[in-house]
Amino acid sequence: MTTRERPDELVLLPLGGMGEIGMNIYCYGFGPANDRKWIMVDCGVKFGNDADPGIDVILPDVSFMESQRSRLLGIVLTHAHEDHHGALAWLWHKLKKPIYCSPFAAELVKHKFSEAGLLKGAKIHVCPAGSRFDLGPFDIEMISVTHSIPEPQAIMIRTPAGAVLHSGDWKIDNTPNIPPRMDDNALKAAGDEGLRALVCDSTNVLREGASPSESEIAKNLKRLITAAPGRVAVTTFASHVGRITSIVEAARATGREIVTAGRAMRTVIEAARNVGLLANAGQLLNEDAFGYLPPERTLLLCTGSQGEPRAAIARIANGTHPAIELDAGDWVIFSSKTIPGNEYAVSDIHNNLAAKNIRIITADEELVHTSGHPRQDELKTFYSWTRPELLVPMHGEARHLHFHADFAKAQGIKETAIIENGQILRLAPGPAKIVGEAPTGRLHVDGRLIVPSVEGPARFRKRLSFAGVVFVTVVLDDKGGIVAGPRIAGDGLPPETDDGENFIDYLLEAADDALETLPRNRRRDDDSVAEALRLGVRRAADVVWGKKPICHVVIHRV
């Protein structure tokens, strides 16, 4: 069969976001298997945790799309959350393709690109809700949805083989406190037109009912802020402009001045004002004004709801913030949900605040947060509007994806498909089928550098955290004679053995024995010497400690 005779296929290739929450990056291809044109939807990050010591940001491996760069037509963003666009500035040198996104997302992308010195070479096309444009064989329509950030959009992708709706992150909120509202008419029109596939958010699929409206959160925040006798600090996701609007309105209604703390908060507020949001917020004061305001007229809006150690509320809680200090009787409202993995860090902040006799209010006690993702009743409504032939769950861990597939079948969707990152799923024509694979994985941002995740420095740091490190040096002559016997230094080791012997001295004896018992002719070979010393030291440590430290041996020849 010639290339021209091979059928054109519409395929989906996730490089992140399947089987995980975060690092969303989905590639849609159209054409024959050996000559597909591609678009990329989103390019996000994950954030590091204790599993990756020293790593704050994790990126998707885009080597496959880099190999297909001549066929990659553009990058379309659903919205401006970091897990959907945060990898772009880091990976731009590999992709260098036009970006299509909402006005608010464009502001934040431009900010990141400007910081990275990339703005001059980037092509960022601003696409308000309702925009429609062509990228090769892809007819793209941006459809407004509601979420916990301004201007979220679902992406309608039409091709000669059929249409797919990529939902992005969404919820159904009929009373959002910032525009626009969800365009249910456009979603219903997509269903009327005939939708081959819906690739859909799975984050909250395990929860029954519907997510509360942002307007309910606004009422509760106003009630609490009104009742507070002294200072009130509210920490929330910096990107949640709707929540910031609610907090600002509550503060103004109760006669409080607003102090903002945290770089991310200030960046988002500036971006929001640039696109016409927060127009009635008035003056927002900087951190230096905090100490000059009467407590009952002060509201602090700050970052750090997820326990980030360098964020404002963490530094306030541990007493290291240079300009802000809370006193006994002040209130701190956590207007957020703790993301899995951040529980210990958030708990530390709670405990530090409690030790100062500061009142802490969380979503466990009061309705001060609502999710931006759909629960089961919202999914049912969305299905009824769009009526897809095929449902592909995305944006969720394995249990979310499997539950979502079963839930969709129970609602009458005939076909579902669960795939993993790196699998190429044919959406059309014909039944959904995995038709190929692409390399995928993760990269670590280590300081200012991008490094491997599997054999990178984080793996070594993790091993260090379990058993420490030992350095052994020895000086030998060319004939294997010992010029200067082993010397040992270490870190992360116990000070002494159970018998009270200095631990380093104990290891030094083991190194001496290992070197003395190694035949002279073998001491002429550096590899043999290094291995004998490494094994001797690690075995000795294991005998008295039960752990084997990392051991590095340095051999000098004279």
What is the rounded CA–CA span in Å between residue 56 and residue 307?
13
What is the rounded CA–CA span in Å between residue 285 and residue 419?
48
Query: Do 21 and 104 fall into the same domain?
Result: yes
**Number of structural domains in the chain:** 3
pLDDT of residue 454: 77
pLDDT of residue 5: 60
The helices-and-strands tally (H runs, E runs) of the chain is: 15, 29
pLDDT of residue 2: 43
Alpha carbon of residue 155 to chain centroid: 21
Query: Do 500 and 540 fall into the same domain?
Result: yes
Query: Do 290 and 323 fall into the same domain?
Result: yes
Alpha carbon of residue 229 to chain centroid: 37
CATH for 232: 3.40.50.10710
- pLDDT per residue, tens digit, the chain (558 aa), is 344 566 899 999 999 999 998 999 999 999 999 999 999 999 999 988 777 777 889 999 999 999 999 999 999 999 999 999 999 999 999 999 999 999 999 999 999 999 999 999 899 999 999 999 999 999 999 999 999 999 999 999 999 999 999 999 999 999 998 988 999 999 999 999 999 999 999 999 999 999 999 999 999 999 999 999 999 999 999 999 999 999 999 999 999 999 999 999 999 999 999 999 999 899 999 999 999 999 999 999 999 999 988 899 999 999 999 999 999 999 999 999 998 778 999 999 999 999 999 999 999 999 999 999 999 999 999 999 999 999 999 999 999 999 999 999 999 999 999 999 999 999 999 999 999 999 999 998 888 888 888 777 877 788 888 889 999 999 999 888 999 889 999 999 999 999 899 999 999 999 999 999 999 999 999 999 999 999 999 999 999 999 999 999 999 998
Query: Do 51 and 195 fall into the same domain?
Result: yes
What is the rounded CA–CA span in Å between residue 332 and residue 247?
13
pLDDT of residue 459: 79
Query: Do 313 and 382 fall into the same domain?
Result: no
- Provide the token pair at 490: 């270490």
Instruction: Answer yes or no: is 486 within a domain.
Output: yes
What is the rounded CA–CA span in Å between residue 454 and residue 190?
42
Identity of the amino acid at 55? I
Instruction: Answer yes or no: is 366 within a domain.
Output: no
Query: Do 28 and 155 fall into the same domain?
Result: yes
Q: Do you know the residue count of the chain?
A: 558
CATH for 502: 3.10.20.580
Identity of the amino acid at 282? G
Q: Are 91 and 43 in contact (CB under 8 A)?
A: yes
* Residue 337: exposure state from Cβ atoms within 10 A (0-12, 13-18, ≥19): middle
Residue with tokens 């024995």: 513
Identity of the amino acid at 547? K
Instruction: Answer yes or no: is 2 within a domain.
Output: no
Pairing of strands 99-101, 124-126: parallel
Query: Do 379 and 254 fall into the same domain?
Result: no
Instruction: Answer yes or no: is 457 within a domain.
Output: no
Instruction: Answer yes or no: is 307 within a domain.
Output: yes
DSSP per-residue codes, 320-338: --SS----TT-EEEE-S-P
Pairing of strands 72-76, 99-101: parallel
pLDDT of residue 476: 94
What is the rounded CA–CA span in Å between residue 497 and residue 499?
5
What is the rounded CA–CA span in Å between residue 432 and residue 442?
27
- Provide the token pair at 479: 């004939």
Query: Do 106 and 238 fall into the same domain?
Result: no
Q: Which domain holds residue 219?
A: 214-361
pLDDT of residue 1: 39
Pairing of strands 25-31, 72-76: unpaired
Q: Are 295 and 230 in contact (CB under 8 A)?
A: yes
Domain termination residue (choose one: 330, 361, 392): 361
Query: Do 183 and 220 fall into the same domain?
Result: no
Query: Do 98 and 129 fall into the same domain?
Result: yes
**Strand ranges in 368-438 using DSSP code E only, listed in sequence order:** 390-394, 396-397, 415-416, 423-428, 433-437
Instruction: Answer yes or no: is 460 within a domain.
Output: no
Alpha carbon of residue 358 to chain centroid: 30
Q: Are 152 and 168 in contact (CB under 8 A)?
A: yes
Q: What is the DSSP letter of 289?
A: G
- The SS3 of residue 541 is helix
Instruction: Answer yes or no: is 381 within a domain.
Output: yes
Query: Do 62 and 33 fall into the same domain?
Result: yes
Domain termination residue (choose one: 361, 392, 427): 361
Q: Are 129 and 183 in contact (CB under 8 A)?
A: yes
pLDDT of residue 452: 82
Pairing of strands 359-361, 331-334: parallel
- Provide the token pair at 534: 């490494």
Query: Do 302 and 398 fall into the same domain?
Result: no
What is the rounded CA–CA span in Å between residue 305 and residue 517?
59
Instruction: Answer yes or no: is 453 within a domain.
Output: no
Domain termination residue (choose one: 298, 332, 361): 361
Half-sphere exposure in the Cβ direction for 325 (13 Å, CA):
9
